Amino acid sequence: MADFTGKRGLVLGVANRRSIAWAIAQKLAAGGATLAFTYQGERIEKSVRELAESVSSPLLTECDVRSDEGVERVFSEVGDAFGGELDLLVHSVAFADARDLEGRFTDTPRDRFWLALDVSAYSLVSAARAAEPLMEAAGGGSILTMTYLGGERAVPHYNVMGVAKAALDASMRYLAWDLGRKNIRVNAVSAGPVRTLAARSIAGFPTMEAIVEERAPLCGLPPLRRGAERHGHRAPRRLGLPRHGHVRNGAAATDVSGRADVELVAVPHAPRHAVHPQVTSLQALQCPVRRAGPCLQAGRLRPIP
């Protein structure tokens, strides 16, 4: 179990028990972290409040990431709750109109294009900017966002969200460059196809799940869509992970398992994806800043330049 005793974190983007952000929050809380949460709109407030209370959260507040004033208010409340300091920020926020997640990307209208990029990519920039003084006061911190392979390759029906993830990935790298000198790490993790509330909007999502299940290297583990039902919400296996990962600041990471009971298996890459089944989202939040880390590509270990 990773040790986050005494760490204070803010989790953006929990919608329900199936949210990837909630899975990360549970592990952080189990490791001793104290967490604040946000929610978007009254419709999900009750479910997020119940989850937040289950980990004794000191703060739950509404946040519209499209509003600079709203983001500033949230981080002001976080500062008040945590004594003016913040160690961890989990950014798990994305949105695209469901009409743009089917059919052709070419037909995406201008207004919905900018909406997807504003919510899914710029929100990381605004959140990181607001978190910077709190993390600097804490002597450093770690920011983690959620990305996906669709930002690097064309994935059918992912469309404008893929473009938004590409912008998110680039923003993550530039934020890592800016904030690294203040001992603030910025990384991204892709969990692969996970059946969340947001995933329901993507046309052909079951096909994406099936492909990952068929081709994932960790094929001996229970399939994603059956794993949650078969194993409930048990803690993921760590796969023999070291105490501290070697995730360099500004690295993206991609899941290679597609399994419900694997702890966000990841791969650092710069700029291309490589496979390394020994880095997790928790390590990305926990490990010290490193210029390079190991990765496994074409069956051989090599350092990332």
Question: Which sequence positions are flagged as catalytic?
Answer: 148, 158
Structure tokens at 2: 């990773």
* CB burial of residue 203 (10 Å; 0-12, 13-18, 19+): middle
Q: Provide DSSP, the chain.
A: ----TT-EEEEE---STT-HHHHHHHHHHHTT-EEEEEESSGGGHHHHHHHHHHTT-SEEEE--TT-HHHHHHHHHHHHHHTTT---EEEE------GGGGSS-GGG--HHHHHHHHIIIIIHHHHHHHHHHHHHHHTT-EEEEEE--GGGTS--TTTHHHHHHHHHHHHHHHHHHHHHGGGTEEEEEEE--S---TGGGGSTTHHHHHHHHHHH-S-TTSPPHHHHHHHHTTPPPB--S--SS--PPTT-EEE-S---TTB------BSSS--B-TT--HHHHHHSPP-S--EEEETTEEEE--
Phi first, then psi: give them for residue 295, nearest 5 degrees.
-145, 160
